[in-house]
Amino acid sequence: MANGNFMSRVKQWDNRAAQWMSRHFYIILFEAILAVIFIMAFINALRILDSSFDIHKDAVIDRLLLSQSINTTLIVMLLLLISLGVLNIINTNSRLRGTLKNIEFNLSRRRSDHKPQDD
């Protein structure tokens, strides 16, 4: 029995290690990449807004290009924020799935402990 208990412990440790690696490594990596892209888009938006002060009111083409640049920047930033939100939802679902697996593992182990043994 000790060998079976040891193997179930090893399985549990392996499961927790895999959960930790998938939960923290990939989610943090994707969040870091999206955060860097968001910061770059924000800096670009500030530069676009700064350049808007140099455009004269008579330059219609320049005004149209500026409004198009601002609209495109806003769309990119909103898409980045949405992707961060979706990534957060995926992370929450992953954690919930891991928690449910741990509960199921512990319940199945308790059931096998309380089974009447046939002699």
Structure confidence at residue 94 (pLDDT):
75
Cα–Cα distance, 11 to 78 (Å, whole number): 42
pLDDT in tens, 96-111: 887 888 788 788 877 7
- Which amino acid appears at position 25 of this protein? F
Cα–Cα distance, 16 to 111 (Å, whole number): 21
Structure confidence at residue 54 (pLDDT):
82
pLDDT in tens, 12-50: 888 888 777 766 676 677 778 888 888 888 888 888 888
pLDDT in tens, 38-91: 888 888 888 888 887 888 888 888 888 888 888 888 888 888 888 888 877 877
Q: In angstroms, what is the C-alpha Rg of the chain? A: 26
* Tokens representing residue 92 in the block: 């929450």
* Tokens representing residue 85 in the block: 């939100």
Res. 118: pLDDT tops 70: no
Q: Is the pTM of this model over 0.75?
A: no
